Amino acid sequence: MSEDRAVYEALLEAQSRGEPAALAIVVSAQGSVPRHEGSKMLVRRDGSIVGTVGGGALESLVIQEALAVMSDGRSRLSSYALNDLAAGDPGICGGTVQVFIEPVGLSPLLLVIGGGHVGRALAELGKWTGFRVVLSDDREAFCNPEYVPGLDGYAVCKPGNIAQHVEITPQTYVAAVTRGMPIDLDLIPALLATPAAYIGLIGSRRRWALTVKALKAERQLTDEQLRRVYAPIGLELNAETPQEIAISILAQIIMLRRGGDGRPMQWLGEEVEAEKV
């Protein structure tokens, strides 16, 4: 089997299993270098590889960069000079290499905490829109494949212990649709200790105000820490049904993930017309 084919087959396997991996490709090579443009290497979460971009210290640096890509989900273009070991270069071939590294098999994770009406609707909607979805509840009856089929995981545990059961990364979006404030007092500090991209909490403004007061007094959380929490969760749609509320929540998550601002689209049209005048 050719090296490229082995890399592509490993890439497809990672994608089909939803396993994090990163693809490194030499995109530019000048001078004397171990591998040239088009050389590929797939790096798995455990650091194992398929293919090579040159071996030695250079490859070790690329593997470390690939692991960072898997952690934050952001592609990188890295340059390596192979001239002077004393200066910290990973080789002495005499050339320079640019390697593009991108995450593969790494869909963002939607972690839904609370399997009630809204949680169930949100888990189903999140799966439909392409997220990996994990549902968690401390009640097994509300957290199993029969209750919500087809999800990527089910974590039956106390909400405050969620980080012990689900890996929460910078590619994780957490929607806490919990049953009440006593649960939130344990859950919010646990979530704030993670690098989650988004932490949203359901409830009224009054509930959140009381929760903030208690979290400051009992858990010594600061305003800066609590500003990470989107509460009440979602965009204002005047939503009422569980499905409508789920749309409100997922719309906010997509907006933040894609860098949107939530404005009505016709504003863009007005701006374009104004520019033509």
**Residue 275: inside a domain:** no
**Residue 266: inside a domain:** no
Each residue's pLDDT tens digit, 129-173: 999 999 999 999 999 999 999 999 999 999 999 999 998 988 899
Separation CA 136–CA 165 (nearest Å): 9
**Residue 268: inside a domain:** no
Whether residues 152 and 63 fall in one domain: no
**Residue 83: inside a domain:** yes
Whether residues 49 and 162 fall in one domain: no
Contact call for residues 114 and 64 (beta carbons, < 8 A): no
* Domain end (from 78, 104, 130): 104
Residue at token pair 């392409």: 130
**Residue 270: inside a domain:** no
Whether residues 147 and 212 fall in one domain: yes
Whether residues 85 and 131 fall in one domain: no
Separation CA 19–CA 28 (nearest Å): 28
CATH of the domain at 197: 3.40.50.720
Whether residues 122 and 65 fall in one domain: no
Each residue's pLDDT tens digit, 88-136: 334 445 578 889 999 887 778 999 999 999 999 999 999 999 999 999 9
Residue 274, pLDDT above cutoff 50: yes
Whether residues 127 and 84 fall in one domain: no
Whether residues 17 and 147 fall in one domain: no
Whether residues 206 and 82 fall in one domain: no
Each residue's pLDDT tens digit, 33-89: 667 888 889 999 888 999 888 877 788 889 999 998 887 778 889 888 766 454 333
Separation CA 54–CA 35 (nearest Å): 5
Question: Average model confidence (pLDDT) for the chain?
Answer: 87
Helix (H) or strand (E) segment spanning residue 7: helix 3-17
Whether residues 137 and 252 fall in one domain: yes
Whether residues 130 and 233 fall in one domain: yes
Whether residues 58 and 182 fall in one domain: no
Q: How many domains does the chain have?
A: 2
Whether residues 158 and 246 fall in one domain: yes
**Residue 269: inside a domain:** no
* Domain end (from 104, 131, 149): 104
Separation CA 103–CA 177 (nearest Å): 30
Domain assignment of residue 235, given as a range: 109-258
* Domain end (from 82, 104, 126): 104
pTM value? Answer: 0.75
**Residue 263: inside a domain:** no
User: Whole-angstrom distance between the N-terminal and C-terminal Cα of the chain?
Assistant: 61
